[in-house]
Chains A and B, each alone.
Chain A
Amino acid sequence: MEKASKQHIIADLKKQILGMQGYGTLSIEDDVFPQLKLLAKAFPNQHFPLTGIHEFIANETEDAAASTGFINAILSALMQTGGPSIWISATRNVFPPAMQRFALQPDQIIFIDLKNHKEILWVLEEALKCENLSAVVAEIPELSFSQSRRLQLVIEKSKVPAFIIRHQPQQLNNTTCLARWQIKHLPSILPDGMPGVGQPSWSVELLKVRNAQPSSFKLSWNGTCFQNFEQQTEVLQTFRKLQAS
């Protein structure tokens, strides 16, 4: 009895600490983004955190495209309730028509194309101050610890999450990011004998998560929401069995 109450108190305290760290009161917000449930499992309290920076490491050009797609999928969940988003980059090669594949309206995204690293950081900080946005995405290879802390302070006020794609960073320094992601492609699965390419599938690696253990999982996108990669295989296997019988 006493032990149970102790655990209860500890769990309560943990929740309070998490709340102070920007994870919010969880029980209410838990179902705000049901589309992100699969991702939320890897985070403390089963809740996808939005008050901070999500950092995506892409060492190859292909990984950058995978990260872009993955972020688009997250954005589509966030933008269903929120306002428009801003996409800041130096060498923008995102092709807006393809965003629709991730249930995103491309005309709801404002692109800001800049040359200078300093300008990108300035615009990023200014954009994060605007509470009407649902998210800000930036493509910058380098982000120092102090720069990220500055952004974190802005985000804590405005509650607008930042997604940063770091394409071929020179070094993986410490930042104040909530999570450091690495998205890689997975060969898509198709029923036997079917021609063509399947749905986008990724192996998602969480290299760093604040207040939780790093993890990795496999996901695919079915056009409206995330799906377990394995689940997709299972469905196919049962389909094949049914076909055989």
Chain B
Amino acid sequence: MGKRFVSIWFPFLLTDWLGIRRPALKEVACVFTAAVKGRIIITACNALASKQGIQIGMVLADARALVHELEAFDDKPNRNAKLLQGLAEWCIRYTPFVSIDLPDGILLDASGCTHLWDTEAHYLAQISKRLKELGYTNKPAIADTIGTSWAVSRFSTQEFVVAQKRQYYALLSLPPAALRLEQSILDRLNKLGLQKIERFIQMPRSVLRRRFGENLLHRIGQAMGDVPEVFNPIVVVPEYEERLPCLEPIKTATAIEIAIKKLLEQLCSLLKKEGLGLRSAELKGFRIDGKIIRTSIGTNQSNNDVQHLFKLFALNIDKLAPGLGVELFVLTANKVEPVIQAQDKLWITQSDLQSPALSALLDRVAGKVGLAAIRRFLPQAQYWPERAIKKTAALSENSNLPWHNPLGRPIHLLHQPENIQVTAPIPDYPPLIFIYKGKKHNIKKADGPERLERSWWLEDGEHRDYYIVEDDDGCRYWLFRAGHYSAENSRWFIHGFFA
């Protein structure tokens, strides 16, 4: 699947921001100014001001001549970067990779995300609508390359969704400025009358290079997708993260233990204040040779007990290879949940599966051998023996169903019924003799048959007639015949052993 990029342009980023903070200013023309070379230059203007002919780069005095009641505010450097960072973090909900595109846009790597909003057009509309609700005028566009989506979002007037591999056609009618070129090249193109990309895009490369330099070709290549472009996604700082830089690189197990303990103490005191507990956490160690060692833990119940969490990490310390030494430890809480404050009970009830000691034990077991090994079983409303129980990992889950028919079920059930040879001369009677694993069993007593049908909505197949039989030693077995009786080719199986 090809890459898809969304570029969102905020034409009035700073003034929109001001309008959100002071709604009264939405109604008047306002600008941001900065002093450049002794003159006060306009750096940003709102939609109202731009409609009245004010442009960025104008001197404030000239603008005042055009529009009498113009509100002017001092611009601060890097304010737009901060705003964009905030908007980019907000956009993480639409894709995991968002990057800032200074001075007035953000980029989203939307590859494989749009289908969650049905179509790309709907995806864009959704983002645009939400941003507008926040108060930001915006123009998004989607294309195969960053360059084309940038160009379309800023210069196109009709279509904002460029279909796959159509970037060439999308660019044709746009002005050269859509290629993100320097002002000097733009001036030269303008001088030569090349006011649209279609005028020069077909020219031989050598000619373009000689006249306009390598940069033009590079930008065309980026827009077409021939030249790769770097996408720097922002990293969202996790809410619960602790770092521990080390004065000297450490490489002993004891030192790592101390580091983990310190980090856990910091993190847990933070979590305790907010009444939260860890469900999963990851420890990263940055080695001096540039590698990152990592280990993670999970808990059954949210927990902020340093001792217990340390025990879980301690199981994995021997798997961490410190190499030449670790210089920085970072502990991140990937998942936190409100901690259930255990109320001290006056007495322990009979079914105390929720006791913290037990869940601590299971955490340790899960840390060592994996969570999949631990299971509890609950009844399921099915008669078919293979489906009579369902697995659950949660200790708190309970079923309203009763455990049915305990008398007729064997204590050991084979995972797969095994074939046996029988002598069963009478239809719908238990066999007289059966041979299992080369041993002959004479049947003395028997119960049955108990007919079990398959769940037709789940699978096809024959029904089973189950018999409980006891041989002359007193050993009991659970046998069944698949399907109806026939003298020659009935198939018999053993499925379990009774206590």
Contacts and interface: CB of A to CB of B under 8 A. Distances in A.
A130 B497 CA distance: 32
Interface in B328-367: 348, 350-353, 355, 357-358, 360-362, 364-365
Q: Which of A61, A64, A79, A81 neighbours the largest number of chain B CB atoms within 10 Å of its CB?
A: A61
Interface in B474-499: 474-476, 496-499
Contact of A83 (B355, B389, B411, B496): B355
Contacts of B373: 112-114
Nearest to A83: B352
A91 B391 CA distance: 16
Contact of A122 (B360, B368, B378, B446): B368
B434 to A, nearest CB: 13
Contacts of A133: 358
Interface stretch (A19-27, A149-157, A180-188): A180-188
A83 B348 contact: yes
A236 to B, nearest CB: 15
A211 interface: no
A80 to B, nearest CB: 7
B365 A132 contact: no
Given A107-B378, A108-B351, A93 B403 contact: no
Interface stretch (A1-9, A34-42, A95-103): A95-103
B291 interface: no
B273 interface: no
Interface stretch (A46-54, A171-179, A193-201): A193-201
B374 interface: yes
Dominant secondary structure at the B interface: mixed
Contacts of B412: 61, 64-65, 68, 93-95
B272 interface: no
Contacts of B469: 197
Chain B interface size range: 35 or more
A132 B352 contact: yes
B405 interface: yes
Interface string A66-87: 1011101000000111011000
B376 A197 contact: no
A12 interface: no
Contact of A188 (B351, B376, B445): B445
B368 A119 contact: yes
A227 B97 CA distance: 70
B406 A187 contact: no
Contacts of A61: 412, 497
A160 B134 CA distance: 61
A84 B361 CA distance: 13
A106 interface: yes
Contacts of B409: 95, 97-98, 101
A68 to B, nearest CB: 5
Q: Choose among A68, A195, A197 the residue with the greatest number of B CB atoms under 10 Å from its CB.
A: A197
A111 interface: yes
B411 A65 contact: yes
Contacts of A131: 357
B499 A105 contact: no
B499 A197 contact: no
A172 to B, nearest CB: 22
A44 to B, nearest CB: 28
A110 B357 contact: no
Nearest to B477: A62
Nearest to B405: A97
B368 A196 contact: no
A17 interface: no
A129 B413 CA distance: 30
A123 interface: yes
A127 interface: yes
B470 interface: yes
A110 B411 contact: no
A106 B377 contact: yes
A126 interface: yes
Nearest to B402: A100
B351 A105 contact: yes
Nearest to B472: A187
A1 B353 CA distance: 55
Contacts of B197: none
A93 B376 contact: no
Contacts of B445: 187-188, 190, 195-198
Interface in B398-448: 398-399, 403-407, 409-415, 444-447
B474 A185 contact: yes
10 contacts: A95-B412, A101-B411, A108-B353, A110-B353, A131-B357, A132-B358, A185-B473, A190-B445, A197-B445, A197-B446
Given A65-B412, A93-B412, A112-B365, 19 more contacts: A69-B498, A93-B414, A95-B385, A97-B389, A99-B406, A102-B499, A105-B351, A107-B399, A108-B353, A110-B374, A112-B375, A113-B375, A123-B368, A132-B352, A185-B474, A186-B474, A196-B468, A197-B446, A200-B498
Interface of A: 61-62, 64-66, 68-70, 72, 79-81, 83-84, 93-102, 105-114, 119, 122-123, 126-127, 129-133, 184-188, 190, 195-198, 200-201, 221
